[in-house]
Amino acid sequence: MMRGLAILVLSVLPLCAAAQGWAPQRHVELIVPNAAGGSLDITARSIHRVWQDLKLVPLSSAVVNRAGGEHAVAYTFLSQKPGDPHFVSLATPVLLVNHLSGRLQVTYTDFTPVATVMNDYYMFVVRADSPLKSGRDLVDALKKRPDALAIATATIQSRIAVGLVLQSAGIEIKPVRMVVQPGGQQVPTLLGGHIDVSVGPPAQYLPHVEAGTLRVIASTSPKRLGGALAGTPTWDEQGHKAGTYGTWRALIAPKGITPAQTAFWEEVMRKVAESDEFRAAARKNQAEPVFIDAAATRQRMETEYEQAKSVLTYLGMTK
């Protein structure tokens, strides 16, 4: 009798699960397309902690770094798992811009966008004693003489942040001196007077801004940020609406997963984005915690792909 009851209970469980929607059936891998310790890796581990603390993913899961080829290794791996919702990955605008520049063979249309949970923005930073007091001063100087200043960027996204402003100002791009330099090297190079402007995310500048050795002259955020950056005007405020640009953190899954599987991961990320732990971790580095659902995330990627195509053509960086 008891054995028969147990069999009945076990047979009903899958039906109950099906009635409530899809859930993972085996181990889940959250892929990070760069090495451990980077900003994307930190975001992934913050997300994973919330998964575990709130028991959002019912079975085992792990963060797996698949670095290499400017995200190509991770995205190529994920593209080889069509229809399998047990593999998901974090994504950034690299998924769009590296395809346009020829570094990636795949882009957002080769995956299932699930949700966006964070926006980060770029700061245009100078030494405290720089004659450049605003973003307008920077644009005016380059209009007079495009090769007058050395501007350091670390990634293709930060290069786009510069390009959007200069393109909207009608500045000839070829003479402009843009130096590609790792983010960790830019602050000492800027302080040493070897470059005039550094462009990157807030976290790498905050201690120096708070110490008074660096000054932020413009932000690519749609509205002013808080804390030490509360006094920094946006590019929009300075007459360059096109300068509003950010790097987002989104979750993507393989192409071909079902609507129920997409809905499961979308809801997981909604709960992550709304958690106090995740919001605090994002704001610590002046990032903006958000929740943008699957449909809106796909639309955003489509819009930004076209925007990036225009500015990369201006910068001479399309394939």
User: Euclidean distance between the first and final Cα of the chain, in Å?
Assistant: 70
Residues 303 and 156 in one domain: no
- Check: CB of residue 117 under 8 Å from CB of residue 277: no
pLDDT given for residue 35 in this prediction: 85
Q: Which spans in the chain are helix H? A: 2-19, 39-53, 72-79, 94-100, 135-144, 156-168, 183-191, 206-211, 259-274, 276-284, 294-315
Question: Is 306 domain-assigned?
Answer: yes
CB 149 within 8 A of CB 177: yes
Residue 131 maps to a domain: yes
Whole-angstrom CA distances from 214 to 133, 155, 182, 196, 206 are 12, 21, 18, 11, 9
Q: Rounded CA gap, 143 and 140, in Å?
A: 5
Most distant pair of Cα atoms in the chain: their distance: 90
pLDDT at 20: 56
CATH number at 134 reads 3.40.190.10
Are residues 108 and 184 located together in one domain of the fold? no
CATH number at residue 271: 3.40.190.150
The answer as to whether 41 is a domain residue is yes
Amino acid, single-letter form, for residue 130? S
Residues 129 and 238 in one domain: yes
Looking at the structure, do residues 151 and 238 belong to the same domain, yes or no? yes
- Domain end, chosen from 243, 277, 299, is at 243
- Specify whether 196 is located in the same domain as 283: no
The residue out of 211, 243, 275 marking a domain boundary is 243
116 plus 152 within the same structural domain: no
What is the sign, positive or negative, of the torsion defined by CA atoms of 119, 73, 309, 167? positive
Domain count across the chain: 2
Range of the domain at 35: 26-120+246-315
- Give the pLDDT confidence score for residue 3 in this predicted structure: 46
Domain contains 6: no
Tokens of 70: 């400017």
> Is 239 a member of any domain?
yes
Helix (H) or strand (E) holding 215: strand 214-219
pLDDT in tens, the chain (319 residues): 434 444 434 333 333 333 358 999 999 999 999 888 777 888 999 999 999 999 999 999 999 999 988 899 999 999 999 999 999 999 999 999 999 999 999 999 999 999 999 999 999 999 999 999 999 999 999 999 999 999 999 888 899 999 999 999 999 999 999 998 887 889 999 999 999 999 998 888 989 999 999 999 999 999 998 888 999 999 999 999 999 998 899 999 999 999 999 999 999 999 999 999 999 988 887 788 999 999 999 999 999 999 899 999 999 998 7
Domain boundary (243, 273, 292) is at: 243
pLDDT of residue 156: 86
For 97-156, give the secondary structure using H, E and C.
HHHHCCCCCCCHHHEEEEEEEEEEECEEEEECCCCCCCHHHHHHHHHHCCCCCEEEECCH
| Strands 150-153 and 177-180, bridge-based pairing | parallel
Sequence letter at residue 243: G
What DSSP designation does 71 have?
Answer: T
